[in-house]
A and B are shown apart, each in its own frame.
Chain A
Amino acid sequence: MTQALDEIKIGGMGASRRRVEDNRFIRGKGNYIDDVVLPGMLHMEILRSPVAHARIRSIDISKAYDIPGVRLVLTGEMMAARNLAWMPTLSYDTQAVLATDKVRFQGQEVACVIADDPYIAKDGCDAIVVDYEQLPVVVNPTQSMAPDAPLIRDDKTNQKDNVAFDWEVGDKDGTDSAFEKADLVSKMQLHYPRSHPSPLECCGSIADFNRSTSKLTVYMTSQAPHIVRAAVSMVAEIPEHMIRIISPDLGGGFGNKVPIYPGYVMSILASILTERPVKWIEDRTGNLISTGFGRDVYLEGELALRKDGKILGVRMNTTSDHGAFFADAQPSKFKIGLMHSAFACYDIPVAHLSARGVYTNKAPGGVAYRCSFRVTEAMFFQERMVQAAADDLGMDQAEFRRMNFVKDDDFPHRTPYGFLTDSGQYAKCLDVGLEAIGYDQFLIDQKEARKEGRLLGIGISAMTEPLGAGNSREYDILGIKMFDSAELRVHMSGKAILRTGAMNQGQGHLTTWAQIVAHELGMPADDITVEEGDTDTAPFGMGTYASRSTPVAGAAVAMVSRKIKAKARKLAAHLLEVSEEDVEWELGRFYVRSSPDRGATIQECAMAAYSNMPDGLEPGLEANAYYDPPNLTWPFGCYISTVEVDPATGVWDVLRVVAVDDCGVRINPMIVEGQIMGGLTEAYAMASMQFITFDAEGNCVGSNFMDYLIPSAWETPGYELHEVVTPCPHHPIGAKGIGECATVGGPAAFVNAVMDALKGTGVRNIDMPMLPDRVFEALTEKHDVSGAPPVRTDG
């Protein structure tokens, strides 16, 4: 007679369990970095360069010290005296903490003031006088690679130009050969503009060096506290066990809170020098103008096509603009991240990618903003190229994709650039999407509307993307492998505490990890406390970004639960006085196979671990697990959007958005849908209004919310969500991750829709964001519209 618990009732997998995080957030009792107050705390503000490229002739800080309440002023010279003016980046480059010789981008950190309150600190910054000798400015790769371009990284010996790297992958000869055989070659050139994660909470830190214990505690907005601890140890030369990094509640991350920023380092030194806690909270301008942006990649892409529509080969040539320092946070072997995951869902035999990275006079970064390590770029380029190819062939957009998809029974599949995908139902996703949007009817309506001069458009974007970086053979960051961890301690009452090496920024880990434990052990999710973010207590992990947590940390949670269950089984056998082979499991309870009424709940096993152990078994019921994923996971999706373009103004409105996502088994459907809608909104934002650009002098346009446009509830469309479920074959609970899928696949759906509305004008591309003036220009001048910097201005 089964006494198995109802998994949904106990908040196991599949339950739309309401979030435990909400309890404090809805009461305004979150604990974000700026909420943390330490006794004696001082405040730090940063002075930033107003110019994009200049030698620093002199810095006069004397008047800052005249202001009552100013305690300390730091300049590059003072940092250099302690070997802290430069720090290593996660991409084997170096980055300035405080400028010494030159400033290399507008907004670069030049000095900082530590004072009794941030108002006085800002007064102090205003009192500092800096003499700049301006230099020529470079704002795009063409300028950067020109023969007479100014050398930006003259700090690096052996750097003769502005090239950061050259990299390639794929089969060049095979690809060339495929192109020679092609009936048609379809070309696409475009720019994926610089965007910025811009979480609503800016970055910040509170550094507290305790002189009596020599321990450094840093509260920090970090998505990867253990990586930070390792890096701080290296840079500040403080041993790792004397460093504690605490990530409090994070008001969003989206990759912006992965890098180690100069402000953190300054606050640490300031705390050491002042012997007081030092708080640095950046303002929005600092966040947008200097912290890790995403994208800014130029594509020249070609598809080799057979006349029946089969894609024979892919060529991609990318140029990425990294700003003044190569500071991408990505698996170290891949200079352009996982750009070569492009075309993974299509059955294409051969491909080649060449990638060049360049320096410019802009903030450093490139890998951020829900990108899965440049997979946003890869899949945008892919679907824009696919759209153009279908048009060039005169084929229907859906049919062209369908005929080229990898078939359901064709797995494991080697993608054109060499990844191994394990499962997929790409055509099914497409079918569900086409049905939901009413594809055939829309094409009819579109034709009718055209007769009245109305421009309707439909755009499809399909993709599978690599998540869960990554297995230790291929993936590491600065040599550290990308596993993750979970530690589970079950108390004698049968309640538990779980800690992981992940670090949520709104994904709901404190709710969902407990659901995995509930699934594995039958303990009600409400009985499990989840903690993340404190390096003193959490097991080592590589943090949360690139949608890696469900695939890696979530797997670790499942594995640690299974270790607990294995021990609990022994305890159950002991309690039930049978041998282990006679013990069966149903959710929440072990029972004797031959006598099912005799059982021991998991809670009873827990108590036994403290009070009634069998001989030879260690007391207690705790375990940890480190999970090295065997492979990436491959969620996939199909996003379809319909739009109407106003030909008189270039304004376009979204009519409908349909999203079909397969992220494998869904732990918490409500949270999964929330992630998808958030991602779709970022996709819509980038497609319609949101980007950072520069004028010819290197002034940043988009360094505040008046210019960096984030859609509100009014502009943002509604979404219709559908699901397909193909469990991940290698993940312990069959989940794949979902956090970034819609940001990866979404933008092309909007761009393809607008381009479809403009079909017949001969326009091949309008760079994102497709602002009304760009759409209008395309419609009336009938040429492609580029959005690359510098911004056009009068005179």
Chain B
Amino acid sequence: MYPSRFRYEAPSTIEEALELLHDGGGEAKVLAGGQSLIPLIKLRFASPELVVDINRLQGLSYHHADPDGSIHVGALCRHADLERSVLLASNQPTMAEAAPLIADPIVRTRGTLVGSLCHADPQGDWAAVVTALGGHVVAQGRDGQRTIPVSEFVSGPFQTVLGFDEIVVEAVIPAPKGTPAGGYLKLERRIGDFATAGAAVALELSGDVVLRAGIALTGVGGSTINASAASDALTGNALTSGAIAEAADLAAEAAKPKTDHRGSAEYKRHLVRTFVERILTRVTETEEKAA
């Protein structure tokens, strides 16, 4: 309940923030939403020497679509902004379905998508969503920016490849080639619980053909699982019930769940299969309705 001591700075420019992180030598932590960092600090599972609060940096609260259709989410865009987003509701079903399922409504007013990616909790929902969408993060250091695909960003539980003196300034969902379809389903025992298992499915359709597919899984491995065999099987094909069943099976095979108090490994694998199947089936039903 009571953090150990640390120093605190609240820079107003990104340059200042990067200097502070650099000088911190790896003992500093970035504070954005704080809804993951501060609980860790309170339980003393993390004891940084310096907390760099980036909430005063201007111009990072946005989320918008570029003319090419790519979606950009700034570092200080809150989960609640995404939950309310008209853009996502009409253009990005995978993200739109995930946003209301993050934590609880109060946490969502502060927590950020980018922060969630950087925190790299294996049970974090956004990592699966952005992985399925083939997204990347833009990391800024003192020497400039670099792009890191989300599928390469996480290196282990709560670990990313981000340098200690870099800050992720935005997450980007690439412009879709086809019509976005898909969704995010997760089993949580109650609101705010971490996922027993979750599946993000992101498709780009042209007619009934899948131009691109991405399937990523939450809570069934040491980090987000990119079920690439499953998404590869869908790509270039029509979304038949046979294709759906195959993809669901492949996704379940890709999962590496552990038996614990949330359920057996077999159960979690079964949930993955069920969720992928349900999302894909729902896509075909929506397509039929639209037709």
Which residues of A are at the interface with B, using a C-beta cutoff of 8 A? Answer: 45, 118-119, 122-123, 126, 283-284, 648-651, 689, 693, 701, 706-707, 709-712, 714-715, 771-773, 776-777, 791-794
A/B interface sample: 20 pairs, CB < 8 A:
A119-B3, A123-B5, A126-B44, A649-B271, A709-B190, A710-B190, A711-B190, A712-B192, A714-B190, A715-B190, A771-B189, A772-B187, A772-B189, A773-B196, A773-B262, A773-B263, A791-B261, A792-B259, A793-B258, A793-B260
User: B267 near A: Cβ within 8 Å?
Assistant: yes
Contacts of A706 in B (CB 8 A): 193-194
Contacts of B262 in A (CB 8 A): 771, 773
Q: Complex formed: what's the CA distance from A689 to B187 in Å?
A: 13
13 further A-B pairs in the complex, CB-CB below 8 A; given A693-B261, A792-B264: A123-B4, A649-B187, A689-B190, A706-B194, A712-B192, A715-B190, A771-B189, A771-B263, A772-B196, A776-B270, A792-B260, A794-B258, A794-B260
User: B191 near A: Cβ within 8 Å?
Assistant: yes
CB distance from B77 to the nearest CB of A (A): 24
CB distance from B60 to the nearest CB of A (A): 29
Q: Known: A777-B267, A793-B259. Is A715-B191 also a contact (CB below 8 A)?
A: yes
Contact B187 A651, beta carbon cutoff 8 Å: yes
Contacts of A126 in B (CB 8 A): 4, 44
Contacts of A45 in B (CB 8 A): 2
Q: Complex formed: what's the CA distance from A766 to B259 in Å?
A: 19
Q: Complex formed: what's the CA distance from A791 to B261 in Å?
A: 6
1/0 per position for B28-57, CB-CB distance to A under 8 A? 000000000000000010000000000000
Q: Complex formed: what's the CA distance from A750 to B191 in Å?
A: 20
Contacts of A649 in B (CB 8 A): 187, 271, 274
Contact B191 A773, beta carbon cutoff 8 Å: no
Q: Complex formed: what's the CA distance from A776 to B3 in Å?
A: 41
Q: Chain A: interface secondary structure?
A: loop
Q: Complex formed: what's the CA distance from A119 to B4 in Å?
A: 8
Q: Known: A772-B196, A792-B259. Is A648-B274 also a contact (CB below 8 A)?
A: yes
Residue of A nearest to B270 (CB): A776
Q: Complex formed: what's the CA distance from A707 to B192 in Å?
A: 11
Contacts of B1 in A (CB 8 A): 118, 122, 283-284
User: B285 near A: Cβ within 8 Å?
Assistant: no
User: B104 near A: Cβ within 8 Å?
Assistant: yes
Contacts of B270 in A (CB 8 A): 776
Q: Complex formed: what's the CA distance from A648 to B261 in Å?
A: 19
Q: Complex formed: what's the CA distance from A648 to B191 in Å?
A: 20
Give the number of residues in B that approach A within 8 Å (Cβ atoms).
27
Contacts of A714 in B (CB 8 A): 190-191
Q: Complex formed: what's the CA distance from A792 to B261 in Å?
A: 7
User: B265 near A: Cβ within 8 Å?
Assistant: yes
Residues from 234 to 280 in B contacting A, C-beta threshold 8 Å: 258-265, 267, 270-271, 274
Contacts of A710 in B (CB 8 A): 190
Contacts of A118 in B (CB 8 A): 1-2
Q: Complex formed: what's the CA distance from A706 to B190 in Å?
A: 10
Q: Known: A693-B261, A709-B190, A794-B260. Is A776-B2 also a contact (CB below 8 A)?
A: no
Contacts of B193 in A (CB 8 A): 706, 709
Contact B263 A772, beta carbon cutoff 8 Å: yes
Q: Which of B3, B187, B260 contacts A791 (CB 8 A)?
A: B260
Contact A709 B189, beta carbon cutoff 8 Å: yes
Contact A689 B189, beta carbon cutoff 8 Å: yes
Q: Complex formed: what's the CA distance from A640 to B104 in Å?
A: 30
CB distance from B256 to the nearest CB of A (A): 11
CB distance from B133 to the nearest CB of A (A): 25
CB distance from A126 to the nearest CB of B (A): 7
Q: Complex formed: what's the CA distance from A709 to B193 in Å?
A: 8
Contact B261 A794, beta carbon cutoff 8 Å: no
Contact B261 A712, beta carbon cutoff 8 Å: no
CB distance from B275 to the nearest CB of A (A): 9
Q: Complex formed: what's the CA distance from A123 to B263 in Å?
A: 37
CB distance from B282 to the nearest CB of A (A): 14
Contact B191 A707, beta carbon cutoff 8 Å: no
Q: Known: A712-B104, A715-B191. Is A119-B274 also a contact (CB below 8 A)?
A: no
Contact B194 A776, beta carbon cutoff 8 Å: no
Q: Complex formed: what's the CA distance from A712 to B104 in Å?
A: 10
Q: Complex formed: what's the CA distance from A712 to B190 in Å?
A: 8
Q: Complex formed: what's the CA distance from A772 to B263 in Å?
A: 8
Contact A707 B261, beta carbon cutoff 8 Å: yes
Contact A794 B265, beta carbon cutoff 8 Å: yes
Residues from 1 to 34 in B contacting A, C-beta threshold 8 Å: 1-5
- Top 5 nearest A-B pairs by Cβ distance? A773-B263, A122-B2, A119-B2, A283-B1, A773-B267
Contacts of A693 in B (CB 8 A): 261
Q: Complex formed: what's the CA distance from A772 to B190 in Å?
A: 11
Residues from 177 to 199 in B contacting A, C-beta threshold 8 Å: 187, 189-194, 196
1/0 per position for B99-133, CB-CB distance to A under 8 A? 00000100000000000000000000000000000
Q: Complex formed: what's the CA distance from A791 to B262 in Å?
A: 10
Contacts of A122 in B (CB 8 A): 1-2, 4, 44
Q: Which of B190, B259, B270 has the most CB of A within 10 A?
A: B190
Contact B189 A794, beta carbon cutoff 8 Å: no
Residue of A nearest to B47 (CB): A126
CB distance from B20 to the nearest CB of A (A): 24
Q: Which of B1, B44, B104, B258 has the most CB of A within 10 A?
A: B1
Contacts of B264 in A (CB 8 A): 773, 777, 792
Residue of A nearest to B277 (CB): A648
CB distance from A691 to the nearest CB of B (A): 10
CB distance from B119 to the nearest CB of A (A): 15
Residue of B nearest to A118 (CB): B2
CB distance from A360 to the nearest CB of B (A): 18
Residue of A nearest to B4 (CB): A123
Residue of A nearest to B273 (CB): A648
Q: Complex formed: what's the CA distance from A777 to B194 in Å?
A: 21
Contacts of B187 in A (CB 8 A): 649, 651, 772
Q: Complex formed: what's the CA distance from A772 to B196 in Å?
A: 10
Residues from 64 to 78 in B contacting A, C-beta threshold 8 Å: none
Residue of A nearest to B185 (CB): A649
CB distance from A47 to the nearest CB of B (A): 13
Residue of A nearest to B193 (CB): A709
Contacts of A793 in B (CB 8 A): 258-261
Q: Complex formed: what's the CA distance from A707 to B104 in Å?
A: 15
Contacts of B189 in A (CB 8 A): 689, 709, 771-772
Q: Complex formed: what's the CA distance from A99 to B30 in Å?
A: 40
Q: Complex formed: what's the CA distance from A768 to B5 in Å?
A: 42
Contacts of B260 in A (CB 8 A): 791-794
CB distance from A789 to the nearest CB of B (A): 10
Residue of B nearest to A121 (CB): B2
Contacts of A709 in B (CB 8 A): 189-190, 193
Contacts of B44 in A (CB 8 A): 122, 126
Contacts of A701 in B (CB 8 A): 261
Q: Complex formed: what's the CA distance from A701 to B262 in Å?
A: 11
Q: Which of B2, B187, B270 has the most CB of A within 10 A?
A: B2
Contacts of A648 in B (CB 8 A): 274
Residue of B nearest to A702 (CB): B261
CB distance from A212 to the nearest CB of B (A): 33
Contacts of B3 in A (CB 8 A): 119
Q: Complex formed: what's the CA distance from A123 to B264 in Å?
A: 39
Contacts of A712 in B (CB 8 A): 104, 190-192
Q: Complex formed: what's the CA distance from A771 to B4 in Å?
A: 37
Contacts of A650 in B (CB 8 A): 267
Q: Complex formed: what's the CA distance from A783 to B264 in Å?
A: 15
Q: Complex formed: what's the CA distance from A776 to B190 in Å?
A: 17
Q: Complex formed: what's the CA distance from A707 to B261 in Å?
A: 9
Residue of A nearest to B104 (CB): A712
Q: Complex formed: what's the CA distance from A793 to B260 in Å?
A: 5
Q: Which of B104, B258, B270 has the most CB of A within 10 A?
A: B270
Q: Which of A283, A714, A772 has the most CB of B within 10 A?
A: A772
Q: Complex formed: what's the CA distance from A773 to B187 in Å?
A: 10
CB distance from A125 to the nearest CB of B (A): 10
Q: Complex formed: what's the CA distance from A706 to B258 in Å?
A: 18
CB distance from B208 to the nearest CB of A (A): 25
